[in-house]
């Protein structure tokens, strides 16, 4: 349970960071432009993104890459990390309540 909460906090931090970086041009007088997750990933490590594509298309399921993963990579990073963080937070709270109720019986 601790690991799920830790990953959830990390996703909240990443969502905040990517949203903050997307908002920087607004404060400089430019318009808001949400940066897709794939762009962030490509800036950080293009080799791993290419590796993921190769492995997915060759060994797993080619249709999983396009349109599946491509759709996620085209979404803004803060939406992807925020949604994942929200799901993990809800999951950890539900699991924590179940454990609490089982112990109190």
pLDDT in tens, 47-95: 999 999 999 989 888 888 888 899 999 999 999 999 999 999 999 888 7
Phi, psi for residue 17 in degrees, rounded to 5: -65, -45
Within a domain: residue 62? yes
102: confidence class by pLDDT, cuts 50, 70, 90: low
Q: Indicate whether 27 and 58 sit together in one domain.
A: no
pLDDT in tens, 2-54: 888 899 999 999 999 999 999 998 888 888 888 999 999 999 999 999 999 99
pLDDT at 97: 65
Within a domain: residue 101? no
> What are the CA-CA distances from residue 53 to residues 46, 73, 77 (Å)?
11, 11, 18
Within a domain: residue 65? yes
Within a domain: residue 46? yes
Within a domain: residue 44? yes
Residue 34 is classified by DSSP as P
Q: How many domains does the chain have?
A: 2
Q: Please, how many CA atoms are within 13 Å of residue 66, restricted to the half-sphere of its CB?
A: 4
Within a domain: residue 15? yes
Within a domain: residue 12? yes
Within a domain: residue 105? no
Domain span at 41 = 36-75
């Amino acid at each position: 349970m601790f690991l799920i909460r830790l990953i959830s906090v990390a996703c909240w931090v990443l969502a905040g960071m990517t949203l903050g970086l997307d908002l920087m041009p607004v404060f400089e007088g430019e318009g808001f432009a949400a940066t897709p997750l794939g762009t962030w990933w490509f800036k950080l490590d293009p080799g791993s993104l290419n590796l993921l594509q190769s492995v997915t298309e060759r060994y797993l399921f080619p249709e999983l890459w396009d349109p599946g993963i491509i759709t996620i990579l085209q979404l803004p990073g803060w939406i992807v990390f925020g949604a994942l963080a929200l799901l993990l937070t809800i999951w950890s709270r539900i699991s924590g309540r179940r454990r609490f109720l089982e112990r109190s019986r």
